[in-house]
Structure 1
């Protein structure tokens, strides 16, 4: 899942204009809340976020009587955050994907976030579900995202009903020398569980079952079971030794560029791809990812981006105040959207912007029956073995032995 950074800048730009970060009230901040009497707020971000945040953070600190430090973590932000937290040298606030939550909670790295019932009800229900773990809210969501099928309407005027329809249309375009690839769905040399999941789910595969309360059950692992083997047989049939639709040469580094250069008519990607598509002046439309004929509906993962309060931050009260009272307003959410258009998690903000951006409704429709990306700690064991098995099968490896071995590897890693 690609995580863009520009939106955070808008959050701070608006936060600069807000007054007070040190209110003792349990209610959402009023228009004029008392200024904090000193203190320091430390935020962790990657290089791009850090560079953009520094000037805004400095002004925020000046206006609110606090010092704000934005520290760059170039790689492995989640891993480094956990390590620093255990050593007592981590930040007060961290921004990241919701599927970090299980791992962060297991490592004692983040605190629950206390939102009033009215605040919580203002968010999309799926977004709140995504940041809820073991019955507690652990983050404030600001955007959600899912994959969809983006197609070049000059090459493919109609949305395909099934993956078989897509393959047939792609073959016709290749025969007419109007395209060189049938589908741009990133695989790469190590696979990509996130992008292949809609096809895997359509073919009957699953990662984790769910318990009576709807939560994912790490003891019910679907990888390696007969349904997953059958799913990968279908995926393998689309691979390099089959239809040639799925290729390891299409990766995260070139899938969007291959589409924007008009070498393929279909791209499986998320809202982050739209800016590049528009820049290339591609006439496009967005629809649901088609599933296999006779199979289940393809289900993309639904992911959420959120703000978290560090358990061992040195200024937890200030961090809670900032996260709870400044990241929950429509004004902030709209600013985040304007910085990078992806569906806001706050319903009022979505209502404000969707009229001027038809893509939002189309992505939402494409993710209507999507699955919330598992945030349980066991999910960390999925990515690498599953992805490598996917790449191997697409390259021609035997699905049965490959997926069975991946299931054993994953099962052995789940504690």
Structure 2
């Protein structure tokens, strides 16, 4: 399934604007659980419908309920939850990207839950669904960025950024229409989701205290100005299309499909398009940075949540326990090829999986949990602009980072008062 980070990166921003309209009532809104229904509505992306239909029978029999599986646009369901919930139009159960969990939970739109299969999840995924000591979801899928490489053009998987620099100097990757430009290696670093691994590798971070302290903004912390400088050295060599903030991602993947790129940083959601195009690609963990540190992208994915407006919270909790157990998480992987959050099912996926599965699992171990506090909405755009301003040459790393920090902190102060 394509993750479509252009939508997800700003999903928290959209959610914040919506929930602010309903926040006064939402935080105190409690669903009436005195009359549990014999029906449970489970809303999922259309790609998951067949899987859900295939596993629901045993749950229905065991719990004496009917599970209605509804195909939806998951982002729309979450954005509309503050409005649809009070009117009874929202589903009982749905999936949510980890970066939406904290905001929806703190605003009172999704219910607290219990991870009853707790031993089957590592600390990273458990942290992704918790905020202020409360748990608002059960983990389902893990995702992170990896390195794709064209096996026909790059026989050996790059292990360091020095290897990527060597590709850039290879005449095979000259960009014909722009003299002096090359596509040996590409990365969409004017999108902060993609650039974060570079920033983190040089000591930067989104928020302090493992992403929970919004008063400590760290996009310019450590040696992260060196990350900006290093990014500029790449953009000086890349075609102009890489500087288009709205189309750079598509440009990079299109060039990879056309066989013009040696290696590319991207997510598991693009693998299907590469396969369909017949590209002979491999996927591995992202190479080591010039400073010897790990490239540390965000750890993300999706989790199961319960609407706080549901009248079926008790059976909904049982559904979360059921759908995240070893058997069903393994079946989920086999049906969708998405990497399960359940560590036992993840082990099966690692043993049976493709290059991309193994790469995601390996990369996830060195990834950083994406902050799930609402204030993360204020980080994306200024940080992306920070990178763009540097790589385009309009600002120095020092000035661009100072401007980004001011924009982020001012927005947080204005919207959240901290």
Q: Which deviates further from its counterpart, 119-128 or 251-260? A: 251-260
For residues 303 and 75 of structure 2, what CA distance do their matches in structure 1 show?
Answer: 19
**C-alpha deviation, 1:176, in angstroms:** 6.5
Aligned position for 1:133: 131
Aligned position for 1:20: none
Could you tell me whether the CA contact under 8 Å between 1:97 and 1:304 is conserved in 2? yes
Secondary structure of the 1:42 match is strand
Aligned position for 1:275: 272
**C-alpha deviation, 1:303, in angstroms:** 0.9
For structure 1, the 5+ residue unaligned runs are 5-35
Alpha-carbon RMSD: 3.4
Q: Indicate how the Cα distance of structure 1 residues 175 and 312 shifts in structure 2: closer, same or farther if over 3 A, else same.
A: closer
In the TM superposition, what whole-angstrom CA distance separates every residue of 1:29-65 from its partner, at most 9, and x where no partner exists?
Answer: xxxxxxx99533233445x459768977998999754
Aligned position for 2:188: 186
Aligned position for 1:350: 346
The normalised TM-score by structure 1 is: 0.78
User: 1:400 pairs with 398, 401, 406, which one?
Assistant: 398
Aligned position for 1:294: 291
Q: Indicate how the Cα distance of structure 1 residues 328 and 204 shifts in structure 2: closer, same or farther if over 3 A, else same.
A: closer
Aligned position for 1:332: 328
| Superposition map of 1:29-178 within 5 A | 39-45=38-44, 48=46, 64-66=64-66, 68=68, 70=70, 72-73=72-73, 76-85=76-85, 89-116=89-116, 119-174=117-172
Task: Name the one with the larger helix percent.
Answer: 2
Aligned position for 2:12: none
For residues 132 and 316 of structure 2, what CA distance do their matches in structure 1 show?
Answer: 22
Aligned position for 1:237: 233
Could you tell me whether the CA contact under 8 Å between 2:298 and 2:370 is conserved in 1? yes
For residues 41 and 67 of structure 1, what CA distance do their matches in structure 2 show?
Answer: 5
In the TM superposition, what whole-angstrom CA distance separates every residue of 1:346-384 from its partner, at most 9, and x where no partner exists?
Answer: 122223333222423332223322111111222111112
For structure 2, the 5+ residue unaligned runs are 5-34
Q: Which deviates further from its counterpart, 286-295 or 300-309? A: 286-295
The normalised TM-score by structure 2 is: 0.77
Aligned position for 1:11: none
Q: Indicate how the Cα distance of structure 1 residues 122 and 57 shifts in structure 2: closer, same or farther if over 3 A, else same.
A: closer
For residues 294 and 156 of structure 1, what CA distance do their matches in structure 2 show?
Answer: 24
For residues 59 and 173 of structure 2, what CA distance do their matches in structure 1 show?
Answer: 61
Aligned position for 1:27: none
Q: Indicate how the Cα distance of structure 1 residues 292 and 350 shifts in structure 2: closer, same or farther if over 3 A, else same.
A: closer
**C-alpha deviation, 1:107, in angstroms:** 0.8
Aligned position for 1:247: 242
Aligned position for 2:207: 208
